[in-house]
Structure 1
Amino acid sequence: MSDIVEIRNLTVEDYFDLKASMVSAYADMSGSYWREPTIRRLISIFPEGQIAVTVNDKVVGCALSIIVDYNKYGDDHTYEQITGYYNFSTHNPKGDILYGIEVFVDPEYRGRRLARRLYDARKNLCEQLNLEGIVAGGRIPNYEKYADKLTPREYIRKVRDKEIYDPTLTFQFSNDFQVTKILRNYLPSDEASKGFATLLKWYNIYYEPDRDNIRYTKSTVRIGLVQWEMRDYGSLEGFLSQVEYFIDAVSDYGSDFVVFPELFNAPLMAEFNQLDPAGAIRGVARYTEQIREAMQQFAVSYNVNVICGSMPILRNDLLYNISYLCRRDGTHEEYTKIHPTPSEVYAWGIKGGNEIRVFDTDCGKIGIQICYDVEFPETSRILAEQGMQILFVPFMTDTQHAYNRVRFCAQARAIENECYVAISGCIGNLPKVNNMDLQYAQSCVLTPSDFQFPVTGIKADATPNTEMVVIADVDLVLLKELHAFGSVQTMKDRRKDLYEVVQKKKNG
């Protein structure tokens, strides 16, 4: 089972987990943990600013903050002064700066990018509250190793230039914080930092001086498509290594989704090539759950939602073509291809699924259709009526004619349903796998056709038949504007008095 990761607001009931994690995090600073009355007060005056990360419902880290009128304190202050000597009398809901007073993750849970999630949550809060930015005083715990030969300024420069690694400062630089000043005696008890600290600032580029503090949801979603090459990976381990490589690469760009193609695990069929095609695909189906579990773990580790292409699966001796949505919080759901192609039925005996539904994610409502499914407009329309904003289409096509059927139909779905459509396909050859010889693809992100979008309706596309990734940002607010003010409004202007699309079977 994969761990379930959640970012949420801290509560008073979390205190004992919080204390245990903080004691572990600051093992080099004996007695450095927040007392319960202090946490209670902090939560009572600014609950939304206290953010916890949990693993399987256990608090393993947190980011604590207050809002201050920064002009009252300026850049020359100590930790005690900015926190009102730990009673937080300095908190001002009408202030202009989100001041970070604590961030830590239990050492047992490090290496999972949990601190990055805390920082992202804090940045989102800063944007939602329309504050100028985030300020914090940062430790430089490795400085004690260099204090006899480097000044703090020289040490910071070498950390910035990656000549020296500092567990705190290196992380701050990677999260777009700038060091604006060196503070003396900021936290005198921090012996490892020799009493020095960095004054760190992150600037909110969305800040609007004349806007009230109105909460809003960031609208931009980043999509990463993997144009996957079919080739011999040697083993399941080799295959998963390549999967992790692409997830890692796409997550480095800050993507919210990574999308793999249909039947991208087909190279593993080479192991069963002595069997007929139906036997071979049933052989490789035994790996599907194992691959899904690995991709679910990758989704958590790399903090990205994964559309797991599609894979064959056997259930009650029936073969299906299934895709998984592996969310970055550790949960997953599945979609079964509804329309197997004639060749899938003839060669493999694949059966069609019976569910048409959208999936909720932290980046809006999405739909999944596998290849041939997108050529049936009725199912896409049902998803649109359920609120779908992005449709993901893993596909596998052997010829350019087959590819164009998918591409042109996907473009039509984007226009008629006023949504984004992202298609991801396989390329390359598999000479040792029966019925999977050739692949042709040009993966792309497609948009509706109106003034807010590219005139071609193509947000981004890949080089045909080249292994690569495509990264594209899509703005969900533009879809709302299109629905309300578009030159044409296909969803609104349907003649429901004359026709309708009806889903006959209930999901589940």
Structure 2
Amino acid sequence: MYRKELYVFEGDKPRKAVIRNYSRSDFFELIQIQAQSFPPPFPSELWWNQEQLTNHVTLFPEGAICVEVDGVLAGSMTGLLVSFDPAHPEHKWEDVTDNGYIQNHDPNGDTLYIVDICIRPSHRKLGLGQLMMQAMYELVVQKGLKRLLGGGRMPGYGRYADSWTPQKYLEQVIAGAVKDPVITFLMRCGRTPVQVVADYLEDEESRNYATLMEWINPFHGHE
């Protein structure tokens, strides 16, 4: 199981942090963090429930991580293993993650797929998302996987949907002309865009579009 102790900084003030695997005793707080992190218009039925979290810690506990700051649970990230074919990248979140229940977790998969990441609003700007992403990269390396992959919402796209295609919006984000709350964050974490996918997730702000974002294991053999 995974546990890393380190410091994060609020301005110049160091604060003790721990990144670890989450367990059943964390479930209540994890659901509360989801509700705070994804307020309406994000669908509340997409917040974690007890059955989903139970599957996470049972089927693939290595992919269920959280972060504490000064003893307060502040965020979580969840993944599962899948076999990904780059020649056929189109998919929906509900299909690849089994609607968050991850019963399709493939122990022999070559890709760590990120199901979800969320940070309590009161603990943002501490770099917690990047730290958890780094923990997931370490898991990719440890297991000898090809990549980390996941779909990034495009919540900023809604403001430009009448003028730009989703691909055009992504190009503007990559060029730095527009900052997207999710895509730009994932790029800062070291992930690179693969392509835009339609009908990825019910999300009004993104017009149901997402961008597949990957991190290739630099230690894995590449053809």
TM over 0.5: yes
**1:18 is matched with which residue?**
30
Q: Once the two structures are superposed, what CA deviation does each residue of 1:442-492 show, in whole Å capped at 9, x if it has no partner?
A: xxxxxxxxxxxxxxxxxxxxxxxxxxxxxxxxxxxxxxxxxxxxxxxxxxx
RMSD: 1.8
**2:196 is matched with which residue?**
182
The separation in 2 between residues aligned to 1:30 and 1:89, in whole angstroms, is 22
Q: Which amino acid aligns with 2:67?
A: V
Corresponding residue SS for 1:192: helix
1:3, distance to aligned residue in structure 2 (A) = 3.4
The runs of 4+ residues in structure 1 deviating greater than 4 Å are: none
**1:127 is matched with which residue?**
141
The separation in 2 between residues aligned to 1:192 and 1:105, in whole angstroms, is 19
Aligned length: 208
1:89, distance to aligned residue in structure 2 (A) = 2.6
Greater RCO (CA < 8 Å, at least 6 residues apart): 2
TM-score by length of 1: 0.40
**1:474 is matched with which residue?**
none
The separation in 1 between residues aligned to 2:69 and 2:43, in whole angstroms, is 25
Q: Once the two structures are superposed, what CA deviation does each residue of 1:353-402 show, in whole Å capped at 9, x if it has no partner?
A: xxxxxxxxxxxxxxxxxxxxxxxxxxxxxxxxxxxxxxxxxxxxxxxxxx
1:62 and 2:108 aligned: no
Consecutive unaligned residues in structure 1, runs of 5 or more: 210-508
The separation in 1 between residues aligned to 2:64 and 2:187, in whole angstroms, is 22
Q: 1:157 to 1:128 in 2, by over 3 A?
A: same
1:30, distance to aligned residue in structure 2 (A) = 4.2
The separation in 1 between residues aligned to 2:88 and 2:25, in whole angstroms, is 35
Consecutive unaligned residues in structure 2, runs of 5 or more: 1-12
The separation in 1 between residues aligned to 2:73 and 2:84, in whole angstroms, is 30
1:130, distance to aligned residue in structure 2 (A) = 0.6
1:208, distance to aligned residue in structure 2 (A) = 4.5
The separation in 1 between residues aligned to 2:145 and 2:129, in whole angstroms, is 21
Corresponding residue SS for 1:121: helix
Query: 82-91 vs 173-182, which deviates more?
Result: 82-91
The separation in 2 between residues aligned to 1:118 and 1:70, in whole angstroms, is 22
1:173 and 2:204 aligned: no
Q: Once the two structures are superposed, what CA deviation does each residue of 1:287-320 show, in whole Å capped at 9, x if it has no partner?
A: xxxxxxxxxxxxxxxxxxxxxxxxxxxxxxxxxx
The separation in 1 between residues aligned to 2:183 and 2:86, in whole angstroms, is 26
CA contact (8 A) 1:133 1:202 kept: yes
Residues 163-242 of structure 1 correspond to what in structure 2 (within 5 A)? 163-187=177-201, 189-208=202-221
1:108, distance to aligned residue in structure 2 (A) = 0.9
The separation in 2 between residues aligned to 1:57 and 1:30, in whole angstroms, is 29
Share of identical aligned residues, percent? Answer: 28
**1:80 is matched with which residue?**
94
**2:125 is matched with which residue?**
111
Q: 1:156 to 1:174 in 2, by over 3 A?
A: same
Residues 268-347 of structure 1 correspond to what in structure 2 (within 5 A)? none
Q: 1:174 to 1:3 in 2, by over 3 A?
A: closer
The separation in 2 between residues aligned to 1:58 and 1:94, in whole angstroms, is 35
The separation in 2 between residues aligned to 1:178 and 1:80, in whole angstroms, is 22
Q: Once the two structures are superposed, what CA deviation does each residue of 1:199-241 show, in whole Å capped at 9, x if it has no partner?
A: 11110011158xxxxxxxxxxxxxxxxxxxxxxxxxxxxxxxx
Residues 359-378 of structure 1 correspond to what in structure 2 (within 5 A)? none
CA contact (8 A) 1:185 1:196 kept: yes
Which of residues 157, 163, 167 is equivalent to 1:149? 163
1:7 and 2:16 aligned: no
Q: 1:148 to 1:179 in 2, by over 3 A?
A: same
CA contact (8 A) 1:51 1:62 kept: yes
Q: Once the two structures are superposed, what CA deviation does each residue of 1:153-177 show, in whole Å capped at 9, x if it has no partner?
A: 1111111111111110001112221
1:50 and 2:68 aligned: no
Residues 247-286 of structure 1 correspond to what in structure 2 (within 5 A)? none
1:4, distance to aligned residue in structure 2 (A) = 2.2
Corresponding residue SS for 2:103: coil
Q: Once the two structures are superposed, what CA deviation does each residue of 1:429-452 show, in whole Å capped at 9, x if it has no partner?
A: xxxxxxxxxxxxxxxxxxxxxxxx
Corresponding residue SS for 2:74: strand
The separation in 1 between residues aligned to 2:145 and 2:81, in whole angstroms, is 9
Which protein has the larger Cα radius of gyration, Structure 1 or Structure 2?
A: 1
The separation in 1 between residues aligned to 2:74 and 2:128, in whole angstroms, is 9
1:72, distance to aligned residue in structure 2 (A) = 10
The separation in 2 between residues aligned to 1:134 and 1:117, in whole angstroms, is 15
Which of residues 176, 199, 220 is equivalent to 1:162? 176
Corresponding residue SS for 1:54: strand
CA contact (8 A) 2:151 2:212 kept: yes
The separation in 2 between residues aligned to 1:194 and 1:50, in whole angstroms, is 28
1:91 and 2:105 aligned: yes
